[in-house]
Chains A and B, each alone.
Chain A
Amino acid sequence: MTKEPKGFDKRMRPAGEMYVWLCAMGLAAGIIMVIGLLWVIVANGVQVFWPRPVYEVTLKDGSVIAASIVEDREKKVAEEGGQFAREYKLFTGNKDAYGRQFRYVDQNEIVSMNEPADIIVGEREGSGQAIFYPIELILADGKTVAADSPDFDATFQRLIDEAADARAKARHIDRGPIGGYSAKLKKIYLEKRLLQKRNPDEDKDLQAMDALFIQITKLSSDETEQKSELMAQYQALNDRGGIFAEMAVLNERERLLNEEFAPLLVQSQALKDSINKNTLRYRLIDGTEREYAAGKILLTYQPNQLTAIDKVLFFIGHFWMFLSEDPREANTEGGIFPAIFGTFVMTLLMSIAVMPFGVLAAIYLREYASQGLFTQAVRVAVNNLAGVPSIVYGVFGLGFFVYGMGSWIDGGADDPMAVASWSLWLVVLAVLIVATVLLAQEDYWKHRRWLKDNIRRQTVSTLSVIALILLGFLIYESPFFHGFFSDRLLLNEPTFGTGGVLWASLTLALMTVPVVVVATEEALAAVPRGVREASLACGASKWQTIQRIVMPASASGVLTGLILAMARGAGEVAPLMLVGVIKYVPELPLDTTAPFFHFERKFMHLGFHIYDLGFQSPDSEAAKPMVFATTFLLIVLVIILNLGAILIRDHLRRKYASGTF
């Protein structure tokens, strides 16, 4: 009687509690991993913009270094029995003087560290940061301003401001009028090369003519004798007429263009020269004296004299520079504006492409297709496409968009159909279209009962799909189309036949179609049946119901899908590497020169920027802060998008959880 059943516990202790704790450990580990990872990114990313104090480090061997501490880390010394030692990774700057920017110093080697108050950190154009004590400024007129004179700071600041001003002006000219000038000049060059390419026999003479022209333009006006001799030769060639005359016309156009823009070029060059006029002499901590163009110093600060407010302002300023400027020094300095903009344009184009397609497919699957086993299978398959690796879409994008459609736009079909068979197929297509349109006339067929309605409608849909495919095929195989950019193709310069922002967006759109379809379908399914039935009962047609009732109700669900798609697209890199992303391109895919949208251009992308800087950069140590900062930005972007999607989705669920009839 006293025998208790197995597992019974008198003190009511629940069985298996330890396993519950094991599960708790799993969750805790997961959460710590997420938080830890985000913390690593945020801490490293934010740190980049925070000013670090500069130390004067005296080593045991008597040498002195001025540097800021980048990392305090442990290293393993194999020679000393695998013991751990601590070392500093120090940023010394002055790449031009030391040949490197970083030093690793064993902490045991350090005798003393103090913070010199008057040391200056300057960011320079061309060779990174410098850490120095100023000596004097040598102005353009030969005057010098010593560092201890009271006007030094003001003069130095004035020079920096003037240089910044000159740089901005020169940039304005370069980007504006001179940008247009180079575009025109490039066009003339292209025409010249095309002329040579088209006439291989006279190629040599044409080249000689071009060379003569260049020589003539280079000669100054007082070398008249030589000039007239060359002119005679040039004229002789010109007199041969035909293509030579064409060449001469092109040369003349080039000359006029050069003449027109010469003053601007001079002006821009003068502005750039003015930057180098004044010189700063400074002393490094080890006593060597160096000189640097004062105008090439972008900004200076005294890191050991910054107050807390200064530091915050410094942080904000640098963060803004990071967001708004172009990269410098092989992407390791400056900002990442083109990458942000490229990501933005690509994601935008992708959304424009994916939205209608995804929604259309979802409406079809949920509202129009008969809900049988087949539709279920299609639904599963579409769902699975979301799990197909992104690189596969990249491969498809390269093969289909870039090499297929791109080459077609550039130069027409590789192997077009013969005109006769093409025309025959065209007739077939016309017949198909006519048949489809005739079959679709509801009024006419209403009274002819011998053809069942559902069979007829099915036929219309099938025929339309076939006609659509045939139409695409015929357009592609057209023997009359020879491409929009066949000229450039002749010069081996593909326009659309190489990666570009358009192909990248379409590839990602294809990749994210399943995401949008699934989310939209879910939203459509959440609209209660009662609402639809009410609408239909009031006499609304099916389309009216969808348009006025179902779509508005599911709009936020569709939006969720779109945001998720955008988040996935913005963070994806692997397929982009195949279809048009590039490490550095100053031209944006969207700018103020006609035709404003440059879909064929390659673009920069935040994700690829991380990969490129972290792994392809020649100076990967110097690039590390930039990579962390870019990572931070990308993560923030993706998390904001995802949080938005999650919030909208929760809102939606709550709305319909109580809204069922």
Chain B
Amino acid sequence: MASQSDPTADPKRFDVSKGTLRLDNFMTHFIKVGGVGIILAVFAIFLFITWQVLPLFESAKVQEEAVIETGVADFQLVGVDEWGELPFMVDIAGDFTFVDIKRVDGETLVLGPLGVYKVTPKFADEVTFTAANYHSKSEEVIFGASDGRYTLVKVEYKPVFDDRGERKIEAKLKADKFYPLGKGLGAVRVIDYYDADKDRLVAALVEGDSGLETRATTFQRKKTPFGVGPWKPAKEYDLTSQIEGHPIKVLVTGQGNGVLVSTREGSVYSFLINQGEISLEQVFQPFEGLENPEIGSMDWLLGNESLVFTSAVGDNVIFAQYLPELTPEEEKAGVERKRQFTEINQLPKLDGPADLYSHSMRNRAFLLGSGPEASIRYGTTGVVRWEKSLDFTPKAGILGSRYETMLLADDTGRLHFYSIHDPHPEGGFKAFFSKIWYEGQNEPKWIYQSSAADAETEPKFSMVPLIFGTLKGTLYAMIFAIPIALLAALYTSQFLKPEYKKVVKPMMEIMASLPSVVLGFLGALWLAPIIDTRFPSIMLIMFFLPLTALIVGYGWGKLPQRYRLYLRPGQEFLIFIPLLIGIALIGWNLGPWVESWAFVYTNPDTGVATGDFRLWWPEHTGVSYDQRNSLVVGFMMGFAVIPIIFTIAEDAMSNVPQFLTSASLALGASRWQTAKRVVLPTASPGMFSAIMIGFGRAVGETMIVVMATGNTPIMDWNIFSGMRTQSANIAVELPEAPKDSTHFRILFFGALLLFVMTFVVNTVAEVARVRLRNKYKTVG
């Protein structure tokens, strides 16, 4: 009835409802956007880490912030406080001109309310000064006078907070008494000093009877519970006679036990004071071999370990002390090893000799100026952080002690204020990958040592020991894992009865899922002590196992067929499980016997011979033996890697098309011949891929290494010492590293290296696997 009333069907009856279409449309976009978004987000990990690492490779940004006219043109030196807000200039009369600087809105620098003002310290005498030198670490200026005396003026900076909580810097000057450098001396030309609690050493070039004399004088003071007594001269040294040529500069060493004198002829004389006696230790020419060996400047770097030299033509080198190895003849003659200065770094050339120098109090950065050219360099790596040809000629300059500000004064008395943005001067490719001659070392080395005790110790950030450690751990793991995994995979895929395969494969997969913290814990607390006492046993077992397999296999193959038929093909491994345990027991008990026969260590003191491998190894190889060593890591990491290699290799071998193996078998090849000539070549890319993926896992393994080694960043292949891998380094140090510090970013850099390394390895493996799959497709 109904059809009669409505003879024509609704033409839209096949249309899909609008709601469905809308939902479909929405879901299409939603899934596309969501899917792409998630994939992007996952890859953003790489970008984020890179972004965190990039500042390490940036050079310094230096910007001129203000120029302030002071009107003091005849100044000798400039100094500045920690905050860069109250710099001063000192003229030869001993007057200090302070310049009050204020930051408006934390941005622009302007002259503060106090403006430019002059302060004269209360000197004890009226004298004419002839030399001045500023030590920014102690914030003291030493003045040498025309009558052979000197005095010290301390600049005491103090932050003061006003009512509105704004910080202001106040400075007070405190002048000391005058102390004579010696009797009958004239004007002091160059002066330097060092003082500690009770001792002070002052070295100077002074006008004397016979012209310019080189003098060193020690002072002492008593320390009582009520305070310190006055300085009293202790000993005078006249070094003039020991120096050939014209001295131009003196420096006192960092411990206050030595004096360095440079001459116009290009030599440096190094004197050492030992128990009241001064002796000439070394004479060296920093620019030996150059056409003009003249020294342009000589200054200390932070820590007073390294000397920065420039030549008269602008060559720039750094010298530091080291302990030279003795030649055999010297050793025979009983020569004592003495610390000597040697060139540790060569930096890019300047246009001329440096006439201004200042070093940072935070790191090994220093400022050099030569004519209008100014440059900030980093001593450890020898890299130029910043350089510029200025439109004025700076006469004096100083780096703020926080390495955030720089002050240059030109000869008209204008002060130029600069801000420095260089948070990571220690970074850069050279620091991470090149051999560097660090202070106190005997040669250029790759060293990783992040925990510097204070700013005066150089942080050492070479990535090479960590990469080495990573590869070392991985290598030992792979040596252990690859044979077992590949043999087991070949057996499982080609020879094993299929019923057993159902049990064997999940078993290996479960092994893959063992948390690495468990493996690490077992390695350190269970396996390490066993290997420690029973290494010869373990070695014997490792040697006996394949041997027995080959012998039994050979013997079995020689048996008549009717006996061989008792054991179905694919069940061989069942025999092996008890056999293996038997061999292990034999090896275990034979071990001590072998040890007392082969690894005998004779105690040189008592003459007692002991069969102990732990003592024998360092004695006979000269390398160390640790309980938590690479062997333990190799074993435990092998555990983690074996199932991965096994699973992937087994898949690849099982996927070799059956008609290939069947054809081979039908043509009369034995099962081993088939496996060797047909299966292995066909599946080789798969095996390669398996090994690569296993390698990737071992490279990134963290907890096993953290727990089962000593985590020392050493570089040797000794199997009985530990290592520090990249991942373990991150796990151990990152929780302690302050955010955004150089150390923090370097650990991110380590993570980036790991990421790239594993990603590349895995991609290679994956590509190999995909190609293999396609190959089978065409064969099929």
Contacts and interface: CB of A to CB of B under 8 A. Distances in A.
Interface of A: 11-34, 37, 40-41, 74-76, 78-79, 81-84, 200-201, 357-358, 360-361, 363-365, 367-369, 376, 378, 380-385, 387-396, 398-400, 403, 440, 442, 457, 460-461, 464-465, 468, 510, 513-514, 539, 541-544, 546, 567-568, 570-574, 577-578, 607-608, 610-611, 614-615, 624, 627, 631, 634-635, 638-639, 641-643, 646
Contact of A639 (B37, B42, B513, B556): B513
B539 interface: no
Nearest to A539: B16
B676 to A, nearest CB: 7
Contacts of B43: 381
B163 interface: yes
B491 A23 contact: yes
Contacts of B533: 74-76, 84
Interface string B5-35: 0000000001010001111110111011111
17 contacts: A22-B487, A23-B491, A26-B486, A28-B573, A29-B484, A40-B522, A76-B612, A81-B596, A83-B592, A200-B165, A358-B38, A384-B762, A465-B33, A568-B513, A607-B517, A611-B707, A639-B513
Closest A-B pairs by Cβ, 5 of them: A364-B35, A389-B700, A26-B487, A21-B553, A571-B515
A8 to B, nearest CB: 9
B373 interface: no
B667 interface: no
A19 B677 CA distance: 13
Nearest to A396: B45
Contacts of A78: 610, 612, 615
A380 B517 contact: no
A399 B556 CA distance: 61
B113 interface: no
Contacts of A369: 32, 35
Interface in B713-756: 727, 730-731, 734-735, 739, 747-748, 751, 754-755
B381 interface: no
A395 B670 CA distance: 53
Contact of A32 (B28, B513, B580): B580
B741 to A, nearest CB: 12
B514 A543 contact: no
B515 A634 contact: yes
B226 interface: no
B646 interface: yes
B524 A573 contact: no
Contacts of B611: 81-82
A53 B21 CA distance: 75
Contacts of B490: 23, 26
Interface string B29-73: 101111111111111010011001000000000000000000000
B646 A30 contact: yes
B693 A387 contact: yes
Contact of A392 (B32, B483, B642, B700): B700
B29 A544 contact: no
For B36, B43, B595, B761, the residue with the greatest tally of chain A CB atoms inside 10 Å of its CB is B36
A364 B34 contact: yes
B123 interface: no
Contacts, number: 374
Interface stretch (B337-345, B409-417, B503-511): B503-511
A573 B561 contact: no
B485 interface: yes
B31 A510 contact: no
A357 B727 contact: no
Contacts of B577: 28, 31-32
Contact of A34 (B33, B508, B552): B508
A34 B553 contact: no
Interface in B160-190: 163, 165
A27 B492 contact: yes
B287 interface: no
B673 interface: yes
A428 to B, nearest CB: 18
A631 B521 contact: yes
Nearest to B558: A13
Interface stretch (B265-273, B312-320, B542-550): B542-550
B496 interface: yes
Contacts of B767: 380
A514 B762 CA distance: 14
B518 interface: yes
B284 interface: no
A514 B668 CA distance: 46
B492 to A, nearest CB: 6
A368 B556 CA distance: 58
Contacts of A615: 524, 707
Contacts of A571: 513-518
B509 A17 contact: no
Nearest to A17: B557
Contacts of B612: 76, 78, 82
Nearest to A15: B670
Contact of A31 (B16, B504, B609): B504
A84 B613 CA distance: 13
Given A363-B31, A396-B45, A542-B28, A383 B766 contact: yes
B492 A16 contact: no
B770 interface: yes
Contacts of B702: 389-391, 573-574
A543 B24 contact: yes
A543 B27 contact: yes
Nearest to B525: A614
B650 to A, nearest CB: 10
Contacts of A542: 24, 27-28
Nearest to B22: A442
Contacts of B561: 11-13
B549 A81 contact: no
A390 B755 CA distance: 10
Interface string B692-723: 01001101111100110000000000000000
Interface string B668-688: 001111011000000000000
B89 interface: no
A380 B333 CA distance: 67
Nearest to A399: B52
A82 B35 contact: no
B776 interface: no
B35 A635 contact: no
Contact of B29 (A25, A367, A398, A464): A464
A17 B676 CA distance: 12
B700 A400 contact: no
B429 interface: no
A273 B529 CA distance: 46
B703 A468 contact: no
B483 A461 contact: no
Question: In the complex, which of the residues A37, A83, A546, A574 has the most CB atoms of chain B within 10 Å of its own CB atom?
Answer: A574
A542 B23 CA distance: 10
B554 interface: yes
B525 A27 contact: no
A570 B514 CA distance: 11
A538 to B, nearest CB: 11
A391 B730 contact: yes
Nearest to A367: B31
Nearest to A361: B38
A25 B553 CA distance: 10
Nearest to A29: B484
Given A381-B43, A395-B730, A510-B42, A34 B672 contact: no
A15 B702 CA distance: 44
Contact of A27 (B488, B516, B671, B751): B488
A30 B649 CA distance: 14
Most chain A CB inside 10 Å of its own CB: which residue of B672, B693, B699: B672
A566 B289 CA distance: 69
B33 A391 contact: no
B553 A22 contact: yes
B496 A27 contact: yes
A216 B611 CA distance: 75
